[in-house]
Structure 1
Amino acid sequence: MTEKGITTRALLAGTLVAALIGVGAAYENLMVSGSTLNFDYSLGAAVFFCSFFVLVVNPLLGRLRPSWGFSRSELATVYIMAMVACVLPTVGLVGYLIPAMSGGIYFATPENNWLNLVIPNLASWLMVSDPQGIKDFYEGLSVKADIPWGIWVRPLAAWGVLLAGFFGAVTAMVVLLRQQWVVDERLLFPMVQVPIAMIGEAGEEDRRGLAPIFRSQALWAGVSVPVVFYSLRALNQYNPAIPEGIPLWWAISFANGAVVIPWTLNYAGTGFGYLLSTKLSFSIWVMGALTITEEVVLSTLGVSSGERFFYGTSPTGYPAYQGLGAMLTFALAVLWGGRGRFRQTWARAWSGGGGDYRDILTSRQACLLLVFSLVVMVGWLAVAGMSWWVIPLLLAVMFLSMIGLARVAAEGGLAVMVTPLNPSDAVISSLGGANLGATNLGVLGMMIPVASHMRTTMMAALMNGLKLADTHVAGRRRWLVGAVGLAIVVALGSSIATMLVLGYRYGGINLSYWFFGNASGGVIYDFIAYHQGNNSQTRWDGLGFMGVGALLQLLMTLAYQRLLWWPLHPLSFPIGAVWCTHQVMVSMFLAWLTKITVLHYGGVRLYRSTRPFFLGLILGHYLGGGWWLVIDGFMGMRENYLFFW
C-alpha cells in the first residue's frame, strides 16, 4: 500500500475517534461504570479503536477499492490522536476539573464551613458561582428546563489559559526528549508494541491489508485467553449460574490489617512484562516486595508520619516521601543523561538550525514554546494568588514527576502507575502549611485536577505517539502538531459537554460517587480545609526520608551503570512503594518467570515465537474489555467490572 503521509482524511478520522473517545469515555464512566479503557498509561481505548480500523475498516475499504485503504502513516496518525484524546475525559483532567469547579459550593455545609473557610480565599473565576446551576448539575434539571451553559463559560475559559500553557510546555518537553529516548537510548516503549505490530511494515500486508501478526496462531491464542475469561465474568453478572472464572482480585493483609495489599492477575500487565528485559521485570516485582516489607516493619513498630495525603500511596507516609525523593532523582538522572543532546538542541535553536526532520517542531520552536508556555503558567498561577516563591517548586516537582512517570511507561511498560506523592502535598510538606497561608493552599488544592497523582499524563501519551511516528509516519511530521492540538480540543470539548449533559439530565450524584461525589469534587476542598486547619510546619522527618530515597536512588543508578552483576534496575525503586506496583506484582512475576524459562530452554528463537502470544494477551485484554463495555451500554448493565487495573 502506498504511503500517503499525514492526509486530510487521516485528520478527519482521528478527529472522529477523538470525539468518540471524549463522549464514550465520559458516558462509560458515568452511565456504565465498567472496566475503563482510558484511566492508565496503556490508553486501551486507542488500542480498541486502532484494532477496529485495522481489522474492520481497512479490509472493507480494500474490498471496495484497494487504493481506498488507510496507509501505515494514516493509521499511525489516527492512533496518535486517539492516545492524546484518551488522556483527557476522566482521571487525566475533565473528570476531576468539572467537579473541582462546582463541588465546593454544593458540598459546603455548616459543619465543614467551606463557604467561610475555603471559598473566599479562591479566585472567583476558578469556580462556577451560580448556586442553583450547581445544584441542578448534581441533582438534575426538571424535564423542560434548559442546561445553563453560560455559567460555565467564564471558569472554563480561565482554566483554558492554564491548560494551553500546560499542554504547550508538555509538547515542547516531549520534543526535546524524543531524540534521547527514541534515537539514542532506543527505549522499548512497550505501550506501542501492539499498534506497531497491528499496523505492520510497508509491503507486508496480505490481500486484505492485514499485517503478518494477524496470521499468527499464537497471537489469537493469546487474544482468546482474556476474551474467554472476561466473557465468563461478564456473563456471570447477567446470570449468576454461569461460573465467574478467575477472581477479579484478592488481598493479603499484614500487621493486623494496617497494611493491605490487593493483588490481581492482569493479562495486559503480563504481556507488557514479557516484553521487558528479565532484569527489569525482576527488579519491579522484587522492589515491590521489599517496600511491602518496609511498610509492614514500619506499621509493626508504630512508625508513621501521621499525615493525610491526597490519594496517598503509602499507609505509613514515609515510603511516599522516600519514593518522591527517588522519583525526582530518577528524572534528574534522565535529564543529565541527555545533556549532550540538549546542548545540540540549544546550539541549533540559537543558530536557527532546523533540527531533525523527524521532530514535530524545530529546535528553536520547541525552546520558544517551552519558555512561552512556562511564562503563561507562572502568570496564571500568580494571578490566581500563588506566591512567587511557591510557583517554581510546584512546577519543578510537577514536571519532574511527569518526566519520571513518562520514563517508567516508555522503558518499564507499567500501564498502571501514579506518582509516589502528588506535587501539592510535596510543596505543603516542604514549606509548611502555616507558612504558605490560605491563598497558596487554595491554589495548590485547585491544581490537583491538572497534576495530582498522574494516573495518566499527556507527556507519556505524546512520547509514545512520537515513538510510533518515528517508524510509521512518512515524510516530515510538522502536521502532527496540528493533529495533536485538534485531538486535544475535540476530546476536551466533547467530554466536557457530555459530562455536563449527563449531570444536568440525570443528576451527577446519581451517576458516579467517584467523579460526582465527595471522592472527587468535595475532596479537593476538604484537602484545602484540612491544611488550613492543620497549621503544619515543614516536615523535616519527611524531607529526611526524601533525602534517603534520593541518595539510595543515586547509588542504585551508579551501581547499575558500573557493576555488571548488579541485579536491580534503578527504574524500580521510585515506584516500589506505590500501590500500582503491588497490584501488578503477580503479573510481573509470571512474566519474568515465563521469560527466563523460555530463554533458558529455547533461547531467543523460542522467545520470538512466543512473543505474539503475549502481544495477544495485551490485545485481548482491551478487545474483551471494550466489546463488553459496548454490550453493557446497550443492555443497561452497570458496574460489570472485568478488570480494575
Structure 2
Amino acid sequence: MTMRAILIAMILSVVSIYWQHLSSVIEGGSTLYALSTPPVPAIFCILLLIGAAPLLGKVLGKPLSKQELIVIFMFLVLAIPQVTWGVTEILLPWMTTHVYFATPQNDLHKITELLPKWYYPSDPDLIREMYEGSADGSVPWKPWLYPLGMWTILMTLMFFTGMCLVSMFRKQWADRERLRFPLLLLPISLVEKESPGSHVPFFRNPLVWIAFVLVFTHHILNVMNAYNPSVAALKDFYRIGAIFTEEPWTAYHNVRFFYRPQVLGLAYFVSPDLLFSTWFSFLMQPTSTVIADVFGLRQDPSFPFSVEQGSGAFLAMLFVLFWVGRGQLALIARKALTGDPSIDDSDERIPYRWSFFGAIGGFTAIIIWSHFSGFSPVFSIPYVFLLLGFGLVYSRVRAEGGIPAVWAFPFNEHKRMMFQLLGTRRFIRSGDASDLVMLASYSWMGRGYFTSQMGYQIENEALSDRFDIRTRRYGLMAVLAFVVGAAVAYYATLSSYYKFGAVTLGGGTTAGGGNVSNARTQWEEIVGYINNPTGPSRNRNIAISVGAVVTLAMVALRFFWLQSPFHPLGYAISLNYGYALWSNFMLVWIVKLAVQRLGGARLYRQLMPFFLGLVIADLVAGGLSWLILLAFGPRALAGYVVQF
C-alpha cells in the first residue's frame, strides 16, 4: 500500500464523486447508475489507469503494480458512493425539510421542536436558500460546519463499527467456508494477466468481445429509442404481469421480467441452489396470494407481507451467521482479551484485538452519541443493532451470491420493523415524542450506504488477501476513504443546492426531487403518529415470524439434506430485491443446467470470460450511455433510465 497509490486514489475520488453527483442530481435525477455495484466510475478509473500505464510509468518512474491498482479500487468503492442517495443527498433534506415545508396545516413544527438545535443551521433563511438557491450561489459554510462535523462523527463511528464487525467474519467465510465473492472477479479480470477460465488476457479473449458487442448493441438501441421512440429496443424489462387482468390472477399484475447484463453475468458464478431459491421464492409470493384468494383466506390487502417476511428472514440469517461462526468468534474474543499467542492473526488486515474492541467500542460510542442527542438507549440500541445486523447479512449475500445491488436487504425497514413490533405509541412517553422523532431522524441510514459499505469491506479484505496486500494499515486507509468521500460529497451537494435549489434538483419540481419528497413524506408520517399513535401490527408481526421460521427451516433442511435445492439466502433475497433479480436468475439457472449437461466443468470454465464480459461491458456501456443521453438533452435522459 504505497503513498502514491493513496494519492492517486484521492484525486480520482474527487473526480468520480463529481461525476456521480452530476449524473444523479444535476443532470439526470432518474439515472440510477450512480448506485451501481461497484460504482461505474471505479471501473472507469481502473480501465483508465491500465490504458495509460505506459504514460504513467514515465511520469511516476515505474508503472503501477497490480497491488497498487487494487488499493486504488478499494479506496474508490468506499469513497465514491457517499455522494449518492444513501448519504449526503438524503442526509441534508432529512435534517431540513421539516423546517422548509412547515405550515400551520401540516404540523411539521412539532418535528422542529423535538430535534436537537444543532442538527442543522438555526437560521431558517439559510435553509430556505438551500432549497430555493441563494442570490449569489455561495454556500454559508460557517453555520454548516458544526452540524456537518457532528454528523460526520456519527457516520464515521457507523463506518468503523461495521468495518470491525464484518472483519471478524473474514476468516470464517473466506478460509473455512470458502465463499466465492463473485463481485471480485471484476477487478481481478482487469488487472490479472490471465482472465478467470482462460489462459489469455481478459481483453484478448474473443468471448469477451462477443459479450461487449451484445451489451453495447443493447444500450445503443435503448439510447436511440430514448431519443426517437420509433426505434425498437428491449429496454431493461418487460411487464409480463400486464396480461393478468382478471381475479385472482391480478396478483401477478406487477411482475416484471428484467434482463440486466450485469446481473446475468454475475449470476453465472452463483450456485444453482441459490439461483433456484431466489426465482422460485419470488414467484411463490404472488402465487400464495392467488391461493389465498381462491379459498377466501386473504383478509388483508397487504398479504402475503413479503417485505415483513424479508425482515424476518434477515433476522434469522443474522442468528445463523453468529451461530455458525461462534467458534471463530470465540477465538477472536480470547485473543483480544488474553492475547493468547497460540491464536495467529498475522494474516488479518485488522488485528483481532482491534476488530473485537473496535466493534464493541464503536457500538457503545454510537449509543452515547445518540443519548446526548436525546435518543433513549432503550430504542437506539435495537435500532443500531438492526442497522449493523442487516449489514452483516447483506455482506454474506455479497460474499456468497455476488448480488450487484445496494438494495438487496430490507430497505428502510429497520424503523418500520420497530414500529410494527412495538407500536408507535410505545415511543411516546408522557406526551413526549422525542424518541419517535429521533428514531425517524436516524432512518436515512437504513437506505443504502451503511449497509452496502459492509459488503465492500468484506470484499476488500478478500481482495487484499487475493493479491497478498498484507498491511495493518488497511483500517486507516478505509477510514481515510470514508472521510475524504464525505468531505467532497458535502462540498459538491451543498454547492449545487445553494446554486440551483434543492427543490429543483434530482428531477424535482417545486415540491422537490426524490430525496426531498422522501424526507418530507417521512416527517409528515411521523406527525401523523404523534397525533394518532398506533399499536403493534399483529398481521405484520406474524409475517416477520413466518419469514424467520421459513429461513431457519431451510437452514435445517440443508443440514440434514445436503442436496436441498432451497437456499435460505435465496429466500431472503427474493423478498427484498427479488423483483429485479428473479428473471435474470431463472435464465442463468437454465443456462447452467444446460452447460452442466452438455459440457460439464470444462465448458463452464470456458464460458466464464463471456459472462464476465457481460458484467464489465454493462458497467462501461451504462456510463457511456448516460454521457450520450446528456448530449441529447433532458427528454432523452428521461426516456432511458440506466439502472443497476
Query: TM > 0.5 between the two?
Result: yes
Contact 2:159 2:450 in 1 (8 A): no
Change (3 A) 1:65 1:98: closer
Deviation at 1:293, TM superposition (A): 1.9
Provide the residue aligned with 1:477 in structure 2: 471
Contact 1:92 1:456 in 2 (8 A): no
Alignment partners' CA distance in 2, 1:23 and 1:67: 29
Matching of residues 52-451 of structure 1 within 5 Å: 52-54=48-50, 56-61=51-56, 64=58, 68-115=62-109, 117-142=110-135, 144=136, 146-200=138-192, 212-240=201-229, 243-251=231-239, 252=241, 260-297=254-291, 303=298, 315-316=302-303, 318-352=305-339, 355-416=344-405, 417-420=407-410, 422-437=413-428, 438-451=433-446
Contact 2:256 2:579 in 1 (8 A): yes
Provide the residue aligned with 1:312 in structure 2: none
Alignment partners' CA distance in 2, 1:280 and 1:468: 23
Tell me which amino acid in the other structure corresponds to 2:18.
V
Q: Which runs of 5+ in 1 are unaligned?
A: 1-5, 307-314
Change (3 A) 1:515 1:95: farther
Alignment partners' CA distance in 1, 2:629 and 2:608: 32
Are 1:643 and 2:630 an aligned pair?
Answer: no
Deviations 1:33-54 (Å, cap 9, x if unpaired)? 1643342444333223222222
Deviation at 1:109, TM superposition (A): 2.3
Deviations 1:247-276 (Å, cap 9, x if unpaired)? 333322565766522332111110111111
Structure 1 window deviating more from structure 2 (230-239 vs 94-103): it is 230-239
Structure 2 SS opposite 1:390: helix
Are 1:36 and 2:35 an aligned pair?
Answer: no
Deviation at 1:129, TM superposition (A): 2.6
Change (3 A) 1:166 1:103: same
Provide the residue aligned with 1:8 in structure 2: 3
Provide the residue aligned with 1:19 in structure 2: 14
Contact 2:156 2:482 in 1 (8 A): no
Change (3 A) 1:160 1:267: same
Deviation at 1:103, TM superposition (A): 1.3
Contact 2:154 2:366 in 1 (8 A): yes
Provide the residue aligned with 1:311 in structure 2: none
Alignment partners' CA distance in 2, 1:230 and 1:44: 15
Deviation at 1:640, TM superposition (A): 5.4
Provide the residue aligned with 2:557 in structure 1: 559
Deviations 1:595-631 (Å, cap 9, x if unpaired)? 1111110111111111100000000110001123334
Contact 1:230 1:625 in 2 (8 A): yes
Alignment partners' CA distance in 2, 1:625 and 1:132: 40
Change (3 A) 1:256 1:418: same
Structure 1 window deviating more from structure 2 (350-359 vs 403-412): it is 350-359
Matching of residues 502-581 of structure 1 within 5 Å: 502-512=496-506, 513=508, 515=513, 518-578=516-576, 580-581=577-578
Matching of residues 493-508 of structure 1 within 5 Å: 493-508=487-502
Change (3 A) 1:588 1:542: same
Alignment partners' CA distance in 1, 2:456 and 2:386: 19
Contact 1:21 1:491 in 2 (8 A): no
Deviation at 1:350, TM superposition (A): 1.8
Deviation at 1:225, TM superposition (A): 1.6
Q: Which runs of 5+ in 2 are unaligned?
A: none
Tell me which amino acid in the other structure corresponds to 2:120.
M
Alignment partners' CA distance in 2, 1:112 and 1:441: 17
Provide the residue aligned with 1:3 in structure 2: none
Q: How many residues align?
A: 619
Deviation at 1:297, TM superposition (A): 4.8
Tell me which amino acid in the other structure corresponds to 2:565.
P
Deviations 1:72-129 (Å, cap 9, x if unpaired)? 11011011011112331112211210111221111222321101x3221111222333
Provide the residue aligned with 1:309 in structure 2: none
Alignment partners' CA distance in 1, 2:495 and 2:62: 37
Contact 2:137 2:500 in 1 (8 A): no
Tell me which amino acid in the other structure corresponds to 2:48.
F
Deviation at 1:386, TM superposition (A): 2.1
Contact 1:32 1:632 in 2 (8 A): no
Contact 1:74 1:473 in 2 (8 A): no
Alignment partners' CA distance in 2, 1:356 and 1:299: 56
Are 1:586 and 2:583 an aligned pair?
Answer: yes
Alignment partners' CA distance in 2, 1:32 and 1:470: 39
Deviation at 1:244, TM superposition (A): 4.3
| TM-score, normalised with respect to structure 2 | 0.90
Contact 1:418 1:454 in 2 (8 A): no
Structure 1 window deviating more from structure 2 (146-155 vs 332-341): it is 146-155
Alignment partners' CA distance in 1, 2:143 and 2:293: 48
Match of residue 456, structure 2, among 452, 457, 461 = 461
Provide the residue aligned with 1:46 in structure 2: 42
Tell me which amino acid in the other structure corresponds to 1:97.
L
Contact 1:329 1:553 in 2 (8 A): yes
Deviation at 1:515, TM superposition (A): 4.8
Deviation at 1:150, TM superposition (A): 2.1
Alignment partners' CA distance in 2, 1:179 and 1:132: 52
Identity of aligned residues (%): 24
Deviations 1:438-460 (Å, cap 9, x if unpaired)? 11111111111212466962101
Change (3 A) 1:489 1:454: closer
Contact 2:223 2:625 in 1 (8 A): yes
Tell me which amino acid in the other structure corresponds to 1:427.
M
Structure 1 window deviating more from structure 2 (280-289 vs 37-46): it is 37-46
Structure 2 SS opposite 1:591: helix
Contact 1:387 1:440 in 2 (8 A): yes
Structure 1 window deviating more from structure 2 (18-27 vs 263-272): it is 18-27
Deviation at 1:531, TM superposition (A): 2.6
Deviation at 1:238, TM superposition (A): 3.7
Change (3 A) 1:257 1:506: farther
Alignment partners' CA distance in 1, 2:232 and 2:496: 32
Change (3 A) 1:11 1:32: same
| TM-score, normalised with respect to structure 1 | 0.90
Deviation at 1:591, TM superposition (A): 1.0
